[in-house]
Amino acid sequence: MRGVIGEVEEKLRSNEYKMTPKREYVLRVLLENKDKHLSAEEVYNLVKIKAPDVGLATVYRTLELFSSFDIIHSMDFGDGRKRYEFGVDNGDGHRHHHLICVQCGKIIEMNEDLLEDLEERVNRTYNFTISDHELKIFGRCSECMPKNKKE
């Protein structure tokens, strides 16, 4: 974790920002919850446990700062709330995709790139080079599927 914090600190410094203790608390919460898609309020509640003096506005500003430098990625899963992910770059410039349960809100990450053929077709047909894409598929997870199709 220390290495990642150092990398983020260097990225901030190279853009004339400092890694303040409050920013580090936000970063640590994001790192400790890498597998989750936290809202700003959820980040705030987790930061508040360790640093009660950190305000919600500070968390919002920090999340926006981290987003602006591609340290984290924000997305909306259809519930009107921005959610944040740390370390979304998988090395080829594409993010993973998400399956979103419309009943319970569960989010399942898919690491398969299902859109390679479409990207090639878009490039060829429209002379358009895609730098990134994001796919969200809405439906019901296995826990929310009716056990009996008669329902």
Q: Annotated binding residue at 141?
A: yes
For residue 98, say whether it is annotated as part of any ligand binding site.
no
101 labeled binding residue: yes
- Which backbone phi and psi does 74 adopt, to 5 degrees? -105, 150
Q: Is 94 annotated as a binding residue?
A: no
At 116, which amino acid appears?
E
64 in a labelled binding site? no
Q: List Cβ neighbours of 83 (8 Å cut-off, separation of 6 or more).
A: 37, 38, 39, 74, 75, 76, 77
Give the chain's radius of gyration (CA, Å).
18
Write the CA distances from 31 to 2, 17, 49, 67, 117, integer angstroms: 10, 20, 15, 14, 33
**Binding-site annotation: residue ranges for Zn(2+):** 101, 104, 141, 144
**Binding-site annotation: residue ranges:** 101, 104, 116, 133, 141, 144
**Binding-site annotation: residue ranges for Fe cation:** 116, 133
